[in-house]
Amino acid sequence: MKWNDPMNKIKILVIDDSAVIRHLLTDILNQDDGIEVVGTAQDPIFAMNKIRSLRPDVITLDVEMPRMDGLTFLQELMSTNPVPVVMVSALTRRGCETTLKALELGAVDYVSKPVIDVSNGIINLAGEIVRKVRIAAKARVRISQKSGAGSQGIIKKSSFSAHDSQLAVTTDKIIAIGASTGGTQAIASIITCLPESTPGMVIVQHMPPLFTRSFSERLNSISRIDVKEAQTGDRVLRGTALIAPGDKHMTVRRDGAMYYVDISDGALVNFVRPSVDVLFSSVAKCAGKNAAGVILTGMGEDGARGLREMKQAGAFTIAQDELSSVVFGMPKKAIEIGAATQISSLDGIPQKILQHI
């Protein structure tokens, strides 16, 4: 699609129960020469007919609306007529949890709508909104056959804090994973397939602070391994996964036979914080051939060079393939620079990890 061609603009449908927000989003998106808002709807019921008649390339969708909530609508949409969706939700704890469920159901990305002074807040987010809509227009979306990552009936063993027996366990193996756009669903897909005996995992997913905490808790509730938002000094233990907090870098260090994580501020790397490159580089230095690195779906290049450092240090490295990636940016760059030992579909990654670690 040539977005600078006026005959080939990205067609957007804006769904929000607030007339003010619909107007603001329409103005913001129409200011981009390559985007055209072809319609708006105040709730999903009105939106159904408009989707069929207007055939939008991307939908922006509010979560809480009358007559049908955004999640119910999204689930129906993705199971019958999938269209790339960018969620627009309040930056609150409840909003984070709902948005994560939406990402599991197939939404491509989200914009955090401010709770206070919404109008000015949306205007200040104009650049982010346009960028995420453009990314969504390139995303691969497929018909969903499930209602979310939690539908598999995972039986948890016990809570993270209750693993007293694991305090005496150590391992010289470690798994590092990095992802961005589309990554929440991909990470959930991998983690829910892994057994309790899986070596310790460290994960960077690009998202804000409130979201990483909710994401960690969500993963912990649906997987056999224990997942938590990382804090400085946390040990990387078998059967556990540590998620880098939003807006903080995470690195791994080794002390004897034990791995620990450190959480820090610092400059943005590849325009992001946390950075996958920062994590992967630290794992390359402290774990070498005893590590596995996985780079998943995402826009940009973060993680590619760090994955190459891991491979050069002897680690087994995997890049998600194009067909199963929502956005084939980060894995593509890793493949181009020779950072991947193997290229794999998302479904094949858990088995490859366990075979080689």
Q: Point out the residues that are catalytic.
A: 180, 206, 302
Report d(CA 307, CA 204) in Å as an integer: 13
Cβ of 44: how many Cβ atoms within 10 Å?
23
DSSP 347: G
Q: Hey, is 270 helix, strand or coil?
A: coil
Q: Hey, is 71 helix, strand or coil?
A: helix
SS3 content of the chain, % helix, strand, coil (to 5): 40, 20, 35
The two structure tokens encoding residue 341? 């030992």
Report d(CA 205, CA 207) in Å as an integer: 6
Cβ(102)–Cβ(182) under 8 Å? no
If phi > 0 it is left, if psi is from -120 to 50 it is alpha, else beta; for residue 338 that is: left
The two structure tokens encoding residue 188? 């959930």
Cβ(36)–Cβ(11) under 8 Å? yes
DSSP 9: P
The two structure tokens encoding residue 10? 């990205």
Our CA angle for 119, 122, 127, nearest 5°, is: 150
DSSP 76: H
